[in-house]
Amino acid sequence: MSADVTKVDQAGEPVAGRAEGDATATPSGPPVGGAAPRKDGGLAGFLSGPAGRNAGLVLALILLVVVGIVTAGDRFASPENALTILRLGSVIGVVSVGMTFVISGGGIDLSVGAIVALSSVWATTVATQTMAANVHWIVMVVAALVVGAVCGLVNGVLIAYGRMAPFIATLAMLAAARGLAEIIAKRRTQIIRDRGFIEFFGGSVLGIPVLVIMFAIVAVVGWVLLNRTTFGRRTLAIGGNPEAARLAGIRVQRQTMYLYILLGVACGIAAVMIMARTTTGTSTHGTLYELDAIAAVVIGGTLLSGGRGTIVGTVLGVLIFTTLTNVFTLNNLDTSTQAVAKGAIIVAAVLLQQRVSRTRSG
């Protein structure tokens, strides 16, 4: 093995610098994630880089805001509606941050909505709420986080060590978690009785809803974890090229398992947030969250094939989809039209990613 690879092995991680959110480069050649991208100059180079992608997302968001103001007037432009958009986007935003890590690592998770539902149901059972009444409402939070983490662990073990395709493993979890939630709740809505829980998570700080603050904290922590830590560098490395990452000394299976546990914890946090917003736990929570999360991540610029991830782009993607939904709702467009629009946007984003990738490598 060469001296360069030995150096990586001793450190336990790739050591060379990289562009933010891209697969890590080795000292002697191309990135661990694959071939070195062609360095384009001018406008094309800027637009294909992280700053250009984020600028395009900001422009798209501004255009949506303009459309909302033109079509819905003061109903859209009011401060109350802006807080509504942020509040609605906060729950799926937390899931999307976790999904960014999994997709950046070359995986996918179709079970996030079902995990949110199961976590919310388990945390609001009579037994859990009775324990919370006797101890503290934090018991409900811990229950949701533990259930989410366990579901993520099952996914991670099946995919990393059982060598199941992520699509199949998480599809099985989707069915099992949703079914278990229905069995536990007996297809009923479980009402949260603890006023302390509702008042804390349903409150605000300096006029900003606690749910929005939670989303902001998760996004900041996610950004630091992905861009400034060994964990993030390893994630991008295995997403770009798992075999090269293994040769570089990264324990690919263990890292993959950690990614799904992380996403499970994010689903647990989202379950707590949706419990606070609706004051209920039910097996119908989180319906189609997998579609919304994947859409936000892809729109944000994270490659579906792995090796590149961006938390900032994911946050902007969440805001774009939430704003789009709000504009549709204020203009009395049905949910079917919204679904068609989201599907078209996802296809356009993937086609754009493929074209940019070909341009940079061509």
Q: How far apart are CA 103 and CA 110, in angstroms?
A: 11
Q: How far apart are CA 297 and CA 213, in angstroms?
A: 20
The tokens describing 296, both together, are: 């936000």
pLDDT at residue 19, rounded to an integer: 41
Amino acid, single-letter form, for residue 314: T
Amino acid, single-letter form, for residue 327: V
Distances (CA, A) of 307 to 32, 59, 257, 351: 9, 25, 17, 17
Contact between 112 and 349 under an 8 Å Cβ cutoff? The reply is no
Q: How far apart are CA 212 and CA 202, in angstroms?
A: 10
- The DSSP-derived string for 299-311 is HHT--TTSSB--H
Contact between 91 and 211 under an 8 Å Cβ cutoff? The reply is yes
Contact between 124 and 190 under an 8 Å Cβ cutoff? The reply is yes
Q: How far apart are CA 352 and CA 349, in angstroms?
A: 5
Residue ranges of the domains in the chain? 51-361
* Of 161, 113, 93, 106, nearest in space to 285 by CA: 113
CATH level 3 topology of 51-361: ABC transporter involved in vitamin B12 uptake, BtuC (1.10.3470)
The torsion angles phi and psi of 90, rounded to 5 degrees, stand at: -65, -40
pLDDT at residue 21, rounded to an integer: 56
pLDDT in tens, the chain (362 residues): 444 433 344 334 433 334 445 554 443 444 444 444 455 555 555 555 677 778 888 888 898 899 889 888 888 888 889 999 999 999 999 999 999 999 999 999 999 999 999 999 999 999 999 999 999 999 999 999 999 999 999 999 999 999 999 999 999 999 999 999 999 998 889 999 888 999 999 888 888 899 999 999 999 999 999 999 999 999 999 999 999 999 999 999 999 999 999 999 999 999 999 999 999 999 999 888 998 899 899 888 888 888 888 999 999 999 998 998 888 888 888 778 877 877 787 787 777 766 766 665 55
